[in-house]
Amino acid sequence: MKNTSKVVSTLLAIFTSFSLLASDLKVGEQAPNFKLQATNGDYYQLSDYKGKQAVVLAWYPMANTRGCTIECKSLVEKGHLIREYNASYFMASVDPLDDNRDFAKKTGADFPMLSDPSKEAAKAFDVLNIMRVASRVTFYISKDGQILKIDEDISPKTAAEDIASNLEMLKIAKAQ
């Protein structure tokens, strides 16, 4: 039974790591506002960053799964590359807050990990897939709230480098 559970969990993680439905949101549109609680206990909302800095919102399928752990560790180990830019970055999932807290602790996450157990934000960002978890999609949002890029081709191992590269390509200002 234990091995069956592991196999099912692994298959679910693999299956949900792919974006099964392309987002209806488009580059150039206003990003949906969200207000989600993070692993640090604070609430974050997109509107708090309006006029101040860009936001990178990296949706992931499920806490404590292989691909998500690799992605999170990339952001922990190479997050300094992202912090060179005037941008805040978050990982977000539909997992309950306690699951994300456990995940953040295990991975040493030094950035907010957002929980959306109601799935409202995931629906607004059109990342909720047929398995009722978020697809792995990263949104780049300007300081004016406009979607600059929707990245559905995420490599968990190089997530931090890829985010920094995209911030450079999108001409996001360097941090002061």
* pLDDT tens readout for residues 16-40: 444 444 458 899 999 999 999 999 9
pLDDT of residue 15: 47
Through-space distance between the first and last CA atoms of the chain, rounded to whole angstroms? 54
pTM: 0.86
pLDDT of residue 176: 81
Mean pLDDT of 72-82: 96
Decide if 162 contacts 155 (C-beta within 8 A).
yes
Pairing of strands 54-59, 137-141: antiparallel
Cα–Cα dist 152/154, whole Å: 6
- Look up residue 71 and give its two tokens: 């992605």
Decide if 61 contacts 68 (C-beta within 8 A).
yes
What single-letter DSSP state applies at residue 173?
Answer: P
Tell me which architecture the domain covering 2-169 has in CATH.
3-Layer(aba) Sandwich (3.40)
Check pLDDT > 70 for residue 7.
no
Ordered by start, the domain boundaries in the chain are 2-169
Decide if 23 contacts 125 (C-beta within 8 A).
yes
